[in-house]
Structure 1
Amino acid sequence: MNKVVLVTGANSGIGLALCERLLSQDTEGLQLCLACRNMRRAQAARSALLTSHPAAQVALLQMDTSSISSVITAAQEVKLRYNRLDYLYLNAGIMPNPQFDVEAFFKGLFSSNVITMFATGEGILQQKDCVNADGLREVFATNLFGHFLLAVAFSSVMAQIRELEPVLCHAGRTSQLIWTSSSNAHRSAFNLDDIQHQRGTQPYSSSKYASDLLSLALNTHFNKQGLYSSVICPGFVMTNLTFGILPSFPAFLWSLLMPVFWLIRLFTNTFTLTPYNGAEALFWLFKQKPELLDPQAKYHSLTSGLGNNYTQPRKMDIDLETSEALYERLLQLESEVREKLKEKQKESQHAHSPAGPGSS
């Protein structure tokens, strides 16, 4: 039976590399769906995949994880297209307006924390977040909340039916949620009383730590139904997100830095560098039995100094109490934003309704 795989943020970087690796293993037994915000780029990615794998089944789905209405519409479309999902890769993510702290960087070069600094960006990256059209913080909405809605949010509060749960929790089969987290996911950046990170300067780190917590909560609630959640870390990968950290760097400077990065790999295997290597843990999880995985482990893509790829589980700095509290707050927020969305739809319908008798 064909396996149905949906990947968010699949038009470039690690998401696209994962799709290529999946199709390289199996083109006949796989239905692949690329869920992307930019359909022009998604079509280009699909064409590239089909050029390499002409017999592959590759579909497109328009979805912007930062938009509540877009996610709800996409989830409904998935339920119409497929009677189940075997794998849902929650990979889309942004780090807008990253600010590189040059002073902290040079201080870190001469400290005992230098390897950690390079591997995780700790202490040298800050971001300026903004509010989206739904009134939510953009990083929180894109990296965490949109994926939460897609995977587990209620499609109907009255019916208690979740967006993709009837599709994911298919009788007699297991399904996997797989989150792309980060080594930049730090407990210190996350505040349970400020889950959207409105008062901080590390919204990316906060959102990724929240995804680690949420994965644990999802396992607590849905393992008995055959739905399992896992978290991966792709390592330090050269993607558009990485290049966006230092957008003013000329191309030749990046070329000069690459040998340095290769050298650093001799000391830390987290420098995977290429999207293909970074997708190692995502691909590895595809081949595992989810019920045998550790729900409190983050599965790291690692590359040795000799260029060999492998996956290694490492315990996450998370706890059940905080994960459950976050889950409950996200459910509450989901209820609030759905209510606001309904009100907007009613106002829009009223504004576009025909004028009544006697009006001029």
Structure 2
Amino acid sequence: MVSTRSGSSKIPDGVEKDDNRIIVVVTGANSGFGLGICEQLLSNLSLPPHTPIPISTPQLTALPPSLRGSFDEDEDEEPTKHIDENPPALTLILACRSEKKALAAKQILLDKHEKELKEREEMGEEIRRGWLEDLKIVWEGVDLDNPGGGSGVLGFCEGLKARYPHITTLYLNAGMGAFTGLDWIGFFKQNIMEGLPRAQSQPNCQYEAKGAMSADGERGLVWGTNVLAPYIMAKELIPLLRRSPPSLPFQPRIIYTSSCTSSSSKLSSEPLNDYQLIEYEKSYSASKYMGDLIMVQLDKQYGSPSPSTSTASVDQEGGEKERPVRVFTADPGCVATNFFMNGLGLVLWWAHFKFFFYHWSFVLCRLLGSTKHPVYADQGALPMLYAALIPDKYLLPSSSNPAQRFTVISERFGDTKVGYEEVGEWEKGDELGKGFMEACESHRREWRRREGME
């Protein structure tokens, strides 16, 4: 049985308040985009005071079209220099199921980061004093396939509420697809008919297991992991995000990792009749679009101040003020990770050969001009960091556009920028998004009752 603190805006007894610490939660942090997010956070936030932070410096390509006319590249570098002589420390929470993999990822992150710091020092750059001494990288276990139980999503959230004073950024990055293999004939046919870059960013030749269910047999597996689990985390952790100290240089935000395959066309004609995606032949892309629509609804709900006040509203318990929490989606493009490697072969040498081909085909796509192939996970992570760290003045308010989406723009010879998009057909899909969210909320409430939380 799990105790409840879900509605409280007060710091629990025994938890030390730390107003000068950025606390970031990254789900799926042990590999792929999650590891890339962590690498970029360490690189960007370790810079000395009054130094422009690269990923929170506004980019013209990432601005909504209505804001581009007033953009001055030289002047608008200034907002990222405002971190003063006492810059915030960082706690990086690696949220994943396996402690062993998390600890291995932590060592990879530290080794790479220490090497980067040493290279900066050798180049004569100023090194931030006390950064490594104050840095905390910790593992918090979570099983996204299970809403309940001590290691399930609700138990994970309760653990964070009991151990941390606040959260500054929640990266809802972990995801999965029920991929079982590749239609090699279809793969080569699509490459010939549509060209390599499109075939490698919008593949239609992967086999997915129809009707894959959660371990307890109660939910569609892909829906439960990619839609329900992120929704529960967002709802349960809002109090911690609202407690993020206003003195920190970055606003509290939730970032959902979407996909370049996310599209309304991936849904069935009656999507609310099978919102768990059990009858779908291909559930992954549909789940990501479903997640996108839900994030739009969450940005509407949490992204704007209450109309009753200019800055915030009184929370349900009274006393403290609620802060707006923006919710954005991000498309990291296509990078060479093991995400889609399920079913590509169990013979080790053959799997390595195919991964080698997979990697270099992405490099070739980028050389051919594809903007969706940054190749490396730390480059694909840039839209997620930008969405979390860019100042509010370079965003549209959620009251006018709750569907802002940031995407990767890979350049031919390796540079990566951030682009601006919107969730596809979000206005047309507004009622659908509400329906998906209501379904998730029903499951969240049911599991809270099962766990004795209400």
- Into which bin does the TM-score normalised by the smaller protein fall? 0.7 to 0.9
Aligned position for 1:298: 405
Partners of 1:2 and 1:89 in 2: CA distance: 17
Aligned position for 1:200: 280
Instruction: Provide the secondary structure at the position in 2 that maps to 1:193.
Output: helix
Letter in 1 for 2:140: L
Residues 316-325 or 200-209, more deviating: 316-325
Partners of 1:245 and 1:297 in 2: CA distance: 35
Q: Give how far 1:201 is off.
A: 1.5
Aligned position for 1:133: 216
For 1:103-152, what per-residue CA distance to the aligned partner results, in whole angstroms no more than 9, with x for missing partners?
3323323324764332122x222311233216111111111211111111
Identity %: 26
8 Å Cα contact 1:119/1:268 also seen in 2: no
Q: Give how far 1:217 is off.
A: 0.2
Q: Give how far 1:206 is off.
A: 1.6
Partners of 1:227 and 1:130 in 2: CA distance: 32
Q: Do the aligned partners of residues 257 and 239 (structure 1) sit closer, same or farther apart at CA in structure 2, a change above 3 Å counting?
A: closer
Structure 2-normalised TM-score?
0.68
Out of 53, 67, 76, the residue aligned to residue 146 of structure 2 is: 67
Partners of 1:42 and 1:176 in 2: CA distance: 23
- Map 1:64-213 to 2 at 5 A: 64-69=143-148, 70-112=152-194, 115-121=197-203, 123-128=204-209, 129-133=212-216, 135-152=218-235, 163-170=236-243, 173=246, 174-190=251-267, 191-213=271-293
Q: Give how far 1:9 is off.
A: 0.5
Structure richer in strand, relative to its length: 1
Q: Give how far 1:19 is off.
A: 0.7
8 Å Cα contact 2:334/2:362 also seen in 1: no
Q: Do the aligned partners of residues 13 and 207 (structure 1) sit closer, same or farther apart at CA in structure 2, a change above 3 Å counting?
A: same
- Map 1:282-321 to 2 at 5 A: 282-290=384-392, 292-294=394-396, 295-317=402-424, 318-319=426-427, 320-321=430-431
Partners of 1:29 and 1:337 in 2: CA distance: 35
Partners of 2:330 and 2:221 in 1: CA distance: 22
Partners of 1:95 and 1:214 in 2: CA distance: 19
Aligned position for 1:10: 29
Aligned position for 1:357: none
Residues 23-32 or 261-270, more deviating: 23-32
Structure 1-normalised TM-score?
0.85
Partners of 2:299 and 2:34 in 1: CA distance: 23
Q: Give how far 1:74 is off.
A: 1.0
Out of 19, 24, 28, the residue aligned to residue 43 of structure 2 is: 24
8 Å Cα contact 2:382/2:408 also seen in 1: yes
Q: Give how far 1:182 is off.
A: 0.5
In structure 1, stretches of 5+ residues that fail to align are: 153-162, 346-360
Aligned position for 1:218: 298
Partners of 2:443 and 2:393 in 1: CA distance: 30
8 Å Cα contact 1:239/1:275 also seen in 2: yes
Q: Give how far 1:50 is off.
A: 3.2
Partners of 2:143 and 2:436 in 1: CA distance: 23
The yes-or-no answer on 1:336 pairing with 2:446 is yes
Partners of 1:245 and 1:181 in 2: CA distance: 23
8 Å Cα contact 1:196/1:203 also seen in 2: no
Q: Give how far 1:226 is off.
A: 0.8
8 Å Cα contact 2:335/2:362 also seen in 1: no
Partners of 2:95 and 2:354 in 1: CA distance: 33
Aligned-residue CA RMSD (Å): 2.3
Total equivalences in the alignment: 332
Partners of 2:165 and 2:217 in 1: CA distance: 30
Aligned position for 1:264: 365
Instruction: Provide the secondary structure at the position in 2 that maps to 1:31.
Output: strand
Partners of 1:241 and 1:211 in 2: CA distance: 18
Letter in 2 for 1:328: E
Aligned position for 1:353: none
